[in-house]
Amino acid sequence: MNLTILILILPLISFLILGVWGKWLKPAQAGLLGTISLALVTLLSYYTAWQYFTMPRTPEGTFETLMPYNFTWLAFTETLHFDMGILLDPISVMMLVVISTVSLMVHIYSLGYMHGEKGFQRYYAFLSLFTMSMLGLVVATNIFQMYLFWELVGVSSYLLIGFYYTKPAAVAASKKAFIVTRFADLGFLVGILFYGFYAGTFTFSPTQTALVAGGAAMLPLALGLMFIGGAGKSAMFPLHIWLPDAMEGPTPVSALIHAATMVVAGVYLVARMFPLFIAYAPETLEIIGWVGAFTAFFAAAIACVQTDIKRVLAFSTISQIGFMIVALGVCTGSDPHEGGLGYMASMFHLFTHAMFKALLFLGAGSIIHAVHSNEMKDMGGLRKYMPVTHITFLIACLAIAGIPPFSGFFSKDEILAASFAYSPVMGWVMTGIAALTAFYMFRLYFGIFWGKEVEVHGSHKPHESKLPMTFPLMFLAAVTCVAGFIPFGEFISSNGQAYHIHLDLTVAVTSVVIAVIAIVLATLIYMRPAQPVADKLAKNLAGLHSAASNRFYVDEIYQFVTHKIIFRYISTPIAWFDRHVIDGFFNFLAWGTNATSNSIRNLQSGQIQQYALVFLLGALALILILLLTF
């Protein structure tokens, strides 16, 4: 357990080395350095997880929460202080494993994908920085440390989205991502301050005295504000607009940051504050659940008509995060047998989703590498040329569609069971969205690997990627195949006690049948080279189709609100006031000083005798005054 500090320090060191001396390193050396340090971190994480989960349980049947390190950094009062440390509990240990695994796979994959790119060393430096901050986020011992690393994660996401900084679209996307999430983090910060004031502490367990003094009444507000920050990072409606644009970054980055790890930070935040939500703010949790459900549906609907494969995956990510949020939102108690199932389901889905969504993105990267395009119209029939990518992509699609025995089935089933337990409406809504998920994923799959034959680009046919790129695909596919059989509930559940996952047969059968129907539908529509049904549907529902293609005009609404209303009616008058009144005052002062000085500069003539004369006259005047007064 004492080695856990290395999990944070190793990526930091590799970031510093690559950041400062990267210029003098060969790209291969830089890549190797980053990958090896990450491999060590991964081993350490696995070791920590193994040690942690083999520890004897407490008498109540829970795992003990450990704090191997905790330093007071800034102390305000006895109870209110900013700490820095490492907190180990089931969810943080699980996150350590997820993050380090996906990050290692992305590091290996990037060796092939980014080969020969300008700024290879910089890329690895940023990857290390990101990994360090994400790991720091999940092991935070208090909400403030979490916030610090939260912002660091945001910065590294910004840097990596804008990695191709000569591309205007990438620059715009990175700015958009940063500003939107930063705006949401304002809510988080205010929430933290509220929490600090009313709960009397920054740790995750409020002090009794503060609660008795009336702080409990304010906790729902504080937690709700914190969720705004979480919604920004996790791309919940209406703060989701940055995530599709973030696909401008290199594809491995999308896999790591915008699919597997950073975007689930919001889910992790809610899970971290879960005991407080249950105890003090169940209504807030319910609202959060509905926000998640709406987002899941909204994003799934958009994903059905997008043509850029990375954007389809981005919207699918938003939708899946919606699932996790729903799973948390439908919790009504902390006992997993009565209303607390969603917590476990959410964490389980987070785990499986991280693996198969990273796999999907890395597969998409491999495809993009082969055909040099993001657009589905440039793809088709790739299954012959890229067998490994094809099979692994199919596995991931089956997993996300919820087909047994792949991992997505198990976690999604738990989420659906939890939703049905909460209310049948929520259950059916989520089942519908799951069907939609299966549909758009197989639309994507058939569009890429089946359908019309791909045109030959330039001189070479598309070919399978090299080993550094296919190895992560195979590894993640293997994980996706077996992850569902992990007895997840034994380790993580809402009250910490072991919970035996049992499949709810009716829910499982319904969801699988519906998913299969959706897949068959997608097969019928999209498998053939010509797609008469799809074209006809698009024509008959032209309004809906174009609205969904344009992402329901949410970006336009933002544009309208910011440019037409805020910029024009608030910013412009303020800018005028600043430029003319505030600046004008200081300009006037400067002008006055200048004018006065100019008018008296002739006194300084340089003629010594003139000075002497003035001096003498002055002396005489003084004498006269003295004589006259005394």
Is the CB of 20 or the CB of 613 nearer to other proteins? Answer: 613
Shortest distance, position 615 Cβ to other proteins, whole Å: 11
* 628 touching other proteins, by CB under 8 A: no
Task: Label each residue of 576-621 as H, E or C.
Answer: HHHHHHHHHHHHHHHHHHHHHHHHHHHHCCCCHHHHHHHHHHHHHH
User: Which of 56, 116, 214, 606 touches other proteins by CB under 8 A?
Assistant: 606
Is the CB of 599 or the CB of 604 nearer to other proteins? Answer: 604
The per-residue b/e assignment along 343-380, b for 16 or more CB within 10 angstroms, e otherwise, is bbbbbbbbbbbbbbbbbbbbbbbbbbbbbeebebebbb
CA distances (Å), origin 266, targets 324, 408, 466, 596: 10, 20, 35, 61
Is the CB of 506 or the CB of 605 nearer to other proteins? Answer: 605
Separation CA 407–CA 501 (nearest Å): 14
CA distances (Å), origin 482, targets 410, 486, 487: 11, 7, 11
> Looking only at residues 545 through 604 of this chain, which bind other proteins when binding is defined by CB under 8 A?
601, 604
Q: What is the DSSP string of 291-331?
A: HHHHHHHHHHHHHTT--BHHHHHHHHHHHHHHHHHHHHHT-
User: Which of 613, 622, 623, 624 touches other proteins by CB under 8 A?
Assistant: 613
Identify any residues that bridge with 71 across adjacent strands, giving them in sequence order: 84
Shortest distance, position 628 Cβ to other proteins, whole Å: 22
Whether the Cβ atoms of residue 242 and residue 89 lie closer than 8 Å to each other: no
Is the CB of 2 or the CB of 607 nearer to other proteins? Answer: 607
Whether the Cβ atoms of residue 207 and residue 200 lie closer than 8 Å to each other: yes
Shortest distance, position 625 Cβ to other proteins, whole Å: 20
- For the beta carbon of residue 619, count every other beta carbon within 10 angstroms: 10
Is the CB of 587 or the CB of 605 nearer to other proteins? Answer: 605
Is the CB of 166 or the CB of 604 nearer to other proteins? Answer: 604
Is the CB of 28 or the CB of 624 nearer to other proteins? Answer: 624
Stretch that binds other proteins, among 78-86, 184-192, 433-441, 605-613 (CB under 8 A): 605-613
User: Which of 607, 626, 629, 630 touches other proteins by CB under 8 A?
Assistant: 607
Nearest partner of 146 among 194, 71, 85, 101, judged by Cα? 85
Shortest distance, position 622 Cβ to other proteins, whole Å: 16
Shortest distance, position 160 Cβ to other proteins, whole Å: 57
User: Which of 560, 587, 605, 614 touches other proteins by CB under 8 A?
Assistant: 605
How many residues bind other proteins (CB under 8 A)? The answer is: 10
Whether the Cβ atoms of residue 494 and residue 344 lie closer than 8 Å to each other: yes
Whether the Cβ atoms of residue 415 and residue 323 lie closer than 8 Å to each other: yes
CA–CA–CA angle 492, 106, 174 (5° rounding): 100
Stretch that binds other proteins, among 27-35, 48-56, 456-464, 610-618 (CB under 8 A): 610-618
* 616 touching other proteins, by CB under 8 A: yes
Shortest distance, position 618 Cβ to other proteins, whole Å: 14
User: Which of 169, 186, 589, 612 touches other proteins by CB under 8 A?
Assistant: 612
Separation CA 119–CA 61 (nearest Å): 50
Stretch that binds other proteins, among 48-56, 133-141, 504-512, 609-617 (CB under 8 A): 609-617
Separation CA 82–CA 202 (nearest Å): 7
Shortest distance, position 629 Cβ to other proteins, whole Å: 25
Is the CB of 209 or the CB of 596 nearer to other proteins? Answer: 596
User: Which positions ≥6 away from 41 have C-beta within 8 Å?
Assistant: 6, 7, 10, 11, 100, 103, 104, 131, 135
Shortest distance, position 601 Cβ to other proteins, whole Å: 6
Shortest distance, position 614 Cβ to other proteins, whole Å: 11
Stretch that binds other proteins, among 431-439, 544-552, 557-565, 612-620 (CB under 8 A): 612-620
Is the CB of 197 or the CB of 615 nearer to other proteins? Answer: 615
* 624 touching other proteins, by CB under 8 A: no
Is the CB of 540 or the CB of 605 nearer to other proteins? Answer: 605
User: Which positions ≥6 away from 564 have C-beta within 8 Å?
Assistant: none
Contact residues toward other proteins (CB under 8 A) are: 601, 604-609, 612-613, 616
